[in-house]
């Protein structure tokens, strides 16, 4: 249970994630880092994950390998990961979702085999994802920069979703 939000403004993407780890109705940790920067082949990619942490780490490792075998081809790496995730007997049982960006492209990758490009330059996943998405889309009508939109939208999600807190990790990446 978490909230991850990606906001693109101009040539920059900001990915924000809350820090709450919940087991059932109990908050186990409030300062987890669910947004990470990968640098396969020297090229930065920012990934945010929602769902089971162990499952997400498995997917991050696989994504990193895909990016190393297809340098500079984020879409291809994401599609290959989604195909493996859907068809591999072990991976098929993983419960997580990813937002992946290289600053130029943003994708939501799911275990159902989906690799989705967001509309309106905003993507969100996790238990508070719909709250953050709605807030960010409303804020996109303003002249706020990407980080301010992301922080304000995440604050709104944290006020509404009991599985989301206001301890944010924010990563910026330019195209």
Catalytic residue selected from 2, 53, 87, 110: 2
Report DSSP letters for the chain, one per residue. --EEEEEEETTEEEEEE---EEETTEEEES----EEEE-GGG--EEEEEEE-HHHHHHHHHHHHHHHHHSTT-HHHHHHHHHHHHHH-TTGGG--EEEEEE-SS-EEEEETTS-EEPPSTTEEEEETTHHHHHHHHHHHTTSS--HHHHHHHHHHHHHHH-TT--S--EEEEEE-
The domain spanning residue 11 has which CATH number?
3.60.20.10
pLDDT at 54: 85
Across the chain, mean pLDDT equals 93
**Do the Cβ atoms of 14 and 6 come closer than 8 Å?**
yes
Tell me the per-residue pLDDT of 34-63, one tens digit each, with 9 for 90 and over. 999 998 777 899 999 998 888 888 899 999
Give the domain range for residue 158. 3-174
pLDDT-based confidence at residue 169 (cuts at 50, 70, 90): very high
Tally of domains in the chain: 1
pTM: 0.94
Tell me the per-residue pLDDT of 116-166, one tens digit each, with 9 for 90 and over. 999 999 999 999 999 999 999 999 999 999 999 999 999 999 999 999 999
pLDDT at 121: 96
- Answer yes or no: is 134 a known binding residue: no
Q: Is 172 helix (H, G, I), strand (E, B) or coil?
A: strand
- Answer yes or no: is 161 a known binding residue: yes
**2 belongs to the catalytic site:** yes
- Answer yes or no: is 164 a known binding residue: yes
Name, in order, each residue with C-beta under 8 angstroms of 92's C-beta and a sequence gap of 6 or more: 85, 86, 111
């Amino acid at each position: 249970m978490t909230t991850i939000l990606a906001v693109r403004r101009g040539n920059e993407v900001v990915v924000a994630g809350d820090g709450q780890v919940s087991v059932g109705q109990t908050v186990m940790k409030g300062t987890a880092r669910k947004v990470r920067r990968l640098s396969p082949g020297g090229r930065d990619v920012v990934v945010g994950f929602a769902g089971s942490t162990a499952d997400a780490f498995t997917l991050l490792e696989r994504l990193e390998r895909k990016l190393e075998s297809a340098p500079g081809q984020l879409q291809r790496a994401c599609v290959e990961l989604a195909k493996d995730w859907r068809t591999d007997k072990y991976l098929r049982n993983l419960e997580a979702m990813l937002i992946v960006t290289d600053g130029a492209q943003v994708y939501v990758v799911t275990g159902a085999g989906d690799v989705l490009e967001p509309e309106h330059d905003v993507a969100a996943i996790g238990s508070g994802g719909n709250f953050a998405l709605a807030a960010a889309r409303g804020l996109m009508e303003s002249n706020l920069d990407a980080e301010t939109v992301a922080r304000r939208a995440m604050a709104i999600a944290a006020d509404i979703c009991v599985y989301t807190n206001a301890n944010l990790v924010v990563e910026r990446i330019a195209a």
